[in-house]
Every structure is written in C-alpha cells, then in structure tokens.
Amino acid sequence: QVYLVESGGGSVQAGGSRRLSCQFSSSQYYYGDYYMAWFRRAPGKPREGVAGIGQNGAITYTDSVKGRFTISRDSAKMTLTLEMNTLTPEDTGIYYCAADRFGQDWFPQDRGFAYFGQGTQVTVSS
C-alpha cells in the first residue's frame, strides 16, 4: 500500500502563487519506482492531469499550466511538489497527488493510477 498526503492548499488572489506538497509513504514500496503526478478537479468538470514526473525525471505539463507551474520530486524526502505561479480563477479546484508504477502510460488520464491522495483545495479569486 502507498499513502499520499497533500498539503499547501488554500485561497489566493489571481496573479498570486501557491506551493503544493505531497508526502509519499509505504512500508512495502520504493518511491523511486513510481511515476508521480498532480491532477485537479475543477467544479463541475472531470479530473484532469496537470503535471507528471517520471522515475527518470521526465516531465509533462498540460498546456494550460505550461510556463506557470513547476513539478519536482525529492527522492530523499519522498516528496512531490507543485509550484504554481500567475494563478487564475480557472486554476481553482481540488488538487490530487497520484502515483503509479506505469503512470507514464496513463498520464494525463487518471484511469490506471493506483494511488491518489485525499486532495487539497486551491481557490483563486479574481
């Protein structure tokens, strides 16, 4: 079993920044074996992939966040981070951390990902 816990959500004004973190824990599995990703669910919309990072560090962003968001992972701390800049109200949603050994085959789709965190709310006001 893998456990993912997100933190860092909150309210921010448009144009502002927010930093999300995800803590990976498992008594059985190695963090380095997992593709990690951030998804979000905006009100009334399906969950979408925002950014993903592979075991080798390869990164993928959805077009709407390119140049504004930065995903990174720290193997020693077993954490995943999403730096979000120049936020807009369209970035509002619940942000989820996700992990899967073969996530590169699924991202940006969420089907196939084995583990999700509970989510953290980000609200951007205009």
Say if residues 40 and 48 touch (Cβ distance below 8 Å).
Answer: yes
Q: Which letter, b or e, does each residue of 12-49 get, where b requires 16 or more Cβ atoms within 10 Å of its Cβ?
A: beeeeebebbbebebeeeebeebbbbbbbeeeeeebeb
| Residue-by-residue pLDDT tens, the chain, 126 positions | 999 999 999 999 999 999 999 999 999 999 999 999 999 999 999 999 999 999 999 999 999 999 999 999 999 999 999 999 999 999 999 999 999 999 999 999 999 999 999 999 999 999
